Structures are given as structure tokens and as C-alpha cells.
Amino acid sequence: MKILVTGGGGFLGGHLARALKAQAEGHEVHTFQRGDYPALAEAGIIQHRGDLGCLNEVDKACMGMDMVFHTAAKAGVWGPFTEYYQTNVVGTQNIVSGCKHHGVRMLVYTSSPSVIFDGTDEKGVNEKAPYPRNYLSYYSQTKAEAERFVLGACDDRLRVVALRPHLIWGPGDPHLVPRILSRSKAGKLKLVGDGSQRVDSTYIDNAVDAHLAAGQALLKKKEFKPRAYFISNDEPLEMVQLLNKILSAGGEPPVTKRISPGKAYLAGWILESLYRFVGSKKEPIMTRFVARQLATAHWFDLSAAKNDLGYQPKVSIDEGMLRLAQWLKDHPL
């Protein structure tokens, strides 16, 4: 098969593209991203440079493909709404348009559990949880709009699955792990609340396996109802435990500082207001979204992904942490 992975230069997209290329089926794997990446070329992956917001560039990349994995997105919690909308919503609309124009039959879309986050605890929730009326970040707002669009675009020409992996981490992670370690080294890492809230996370290999399983499900099931699936390691830990495992892997001491949820939310509100007033593009150390995320529980019922996709996390958190520790030893941040 000819398969396109958007966001091939990213953490998940790069791992997924290489995993697809390594499969025994001998897929012709293409990626679409802004830059060129030697590691992808060395793996025999064909790269296409372009902008998700440009329909013509996306359309060309979709030409001749049998399946598309759309992992690319503007992530993070800070930045202009127009940038999030252009990449996450318009970019996803362009992917769907390209798929339908060129007869691509299967699309796996990488969403986020934040699309249903309403600022309160999520304890064992499943995919029946509704979208909230209001969002605390442009990322979650635009990812929710994109997810709804993708699922609504499914028809007899295009079969669709959306995945919601939570907190992807592992060797080479450019987001979660460096952020935690850098704040610890700067003495700025704090727990919001007492740290007892349980949180799901996803080791990178398991996130890749979930995408491969979704692709296989689309191949095998000609009649496939479009829906979203939560993905994680299925090992929810207390926030303080997860942080301390990552800190230990990076050779840092356990987190001891704390801030109350109310003070964290107030600090986020003040900093957001100040940064917008001065027009700063730098991300505040705290935002309202981050404050609520860190103060609440986030763990999910994976029954649907296990039953419908055959997803089973293979790498445990402890095994993943051993691999992370070795990688950090060889690649100090």
C-alpha cells in the first residue's frame, strides 16, 4: 500500500512512519511536513514538504495514496487562535478534501482527550462523554472542531477512525519530558494540589501500535462506524508518581513544591491577561488550561479501543521509564 503520514517530522508521526516502513507488508510510506528530515530519508521514506493550510500542497501529497494517518497539529497551550485554527481545522479539512478528491479510502486521525475536557475530573470516562460548551485553550477547541469534522466526513468513499492518545512520552519526546526536567532544574516545578489525582499516559510505542491497529481495523472491516477512541497505557498513576518517575529517569530529585489549584488558576488568568496585553509570544509558565489539567484526574476506559481495534498496550510504564532513562543518559537534555 501507499501510505501518507502527516507530521512526519514530529514525535508521533516520525515513529509511526518508520514503524509502517518496517512492516513486512512492504508499504510505500510518504510523509508530509514543513521540513526535510534525514532520518526519514535514511529509512526509505518519501518526504513531501508543505503547509497543511495550503489545499493545493495537501492535495498533491494525497494523490495516489491508499491510506492517510493525519498526526500533524499545532500543539501547545499558547498562541494566536488563527494559527491553531489554520493548522488544526483548515488543515484537517484539507486532508479530508485531498482524500476524497483522490479516492483515498481510509483515514486515521490523531485527536486528543482534551476535546472533551470541561475543567473537571475525568475518572474512567468513555467515548460517550460530550464535548463541552467552552474550552480553556485554543488547542482543545480546534482539535474538537477538527475531530467532529473528520467523523462527520465518513461516507461510503472514506472510512475514518479518530484516536485520542493521552500524554505521549518516551525516548526523543520533545514536549512533556523536556518541559518537566527543565522546570525541575530551574527550581520551578510544582504540583498543583496534593498530586493524588490519577492520570493516564501513553508510551510512544503503544501510541504507534494504536495507530497501526486502527489502520488494520479499517482494512479488515468494510463497514466501519466512524468514532473516536481513547488511547493510553491503561495504567493510571497519581500525578506525583508519574512526575517522579520521569524526574528519576532524568536524574532529578522528586518534586516537593506545591501550589493550590485556586492559586494556580488565578496565576494562569493573570499571566494570560498580561501576556496578551503586552503581545508576548512566549508561553506563560502557567495558564488556566494547564492549571485545571494539572489539578484534575484524567484516566479513561479503553474498552472500545480494545474491543473494536484490538488495541493492547505492550510496553508498561516501568519498562518505558527504563528505556527513557537510558535514552536520557545517552542524549542529555
DSSP string, 189-205: --EETTS-SEE--EEHH
Query: In whole angstroms, how large is the CA radius of gyration of the chain?
Result: 19
CA–CA separation, 114 and 39 (whole Å): 31
Q: Is 139 left (phi over 0), alpha (psi -120 to 50) or beta?
A: alpha
The residue length of the chain stands at 333
pLDDT tens track for 154-203: 998 899 999 999 999 999 999 999 999 999 999 999 999 999 999 999 99
Structure confidence by residue, pLDDT tens digits, 282-326: 889 899 999 999 999 999 999 999 999 999 999 999 999 999 999
Helix (H, G, I), strand (E, B) or coil at 313: coil
Q: Which amino acid is at 155?
A: D
In three-state secondary structure terms, 230 is strand
Q: What is the average pLDDT value for the chain, to the nearest integer? A: 95
Which of the following is catalytic: 37, 109, 138, 139? 139
Q: What are the C-alpha distances in Å from 66 to residues 91, 157, 158, 237, 333?
A: 19, 12, 10, 39, 39
Q: 6-41, pLDDT tens digit by residue?
A: 999 999 999 999 999 998 788 999 999 999 999 999
Could you give the CA distance from residue 174 to residue 158 in angstroms, rounded to a whole number? 33
Average pLDDT (92-113) is 97
Which among 228-237, 268-277, 287-296 has the top mean pLDDT? 228-237
Told to judge if 265 belongs to the known catalytic residues of this protein, a careful annotator would answer no
Residue 89 to residue 100: CA distance in whole angstroms? 17
* pLDDT score of 269 more than 80: yes
State residue 222's pLDDT score.
67
Those residues with Cβ within 8 angstroms of residue 273's Cβ, 6 or more apart along the chain or in another chain? none
Mean pLDDT over 102-112 rounds to: 97
Q: Are 163 and 218 in contact (CB under 8 A)?
A: no
Judge whether 161 and 260 are in contact, CB under 8 Å.
no
Asked whether the beta carbons of 10 and 71 are under 8 A apart, the reply is: yes
Cell numbers given for 12: 508521533
Which domains can be identified in the chain, with CATH numbers? 2-174+201-234+299-314 (3.40.50.720)
pLDDT at 244 over 70: yes
> Half-sphere exposure of 166 toward its Cβ, with a 13 Å CA cutoff?
28
Beta carbons of 198 and 237 less than 8 angstroms apart: yes
Q: Please state the pTM of the whole predicted model.
A: 0.95
User: How far is 189 from 180, CA to CA, in rounded Å?
Assistant: 7
The predicted-structure confidence for 49-88, as pLDDT tens digits, reads as follows 999 999 999 999 999 999 999 999 999 888 999 999 999 9
Q: Nearest to residue 173, comparing CAs of 97, 250, 104, 227?
A: 250
Confidence at residue 159, expressed as pLDDT on a 0 to 100 scale: 94
The pLDDT of residue 26: 84
Residue 206 has a pLDDT of: 98
Pairing of strands 106-110, 67-70: parallel
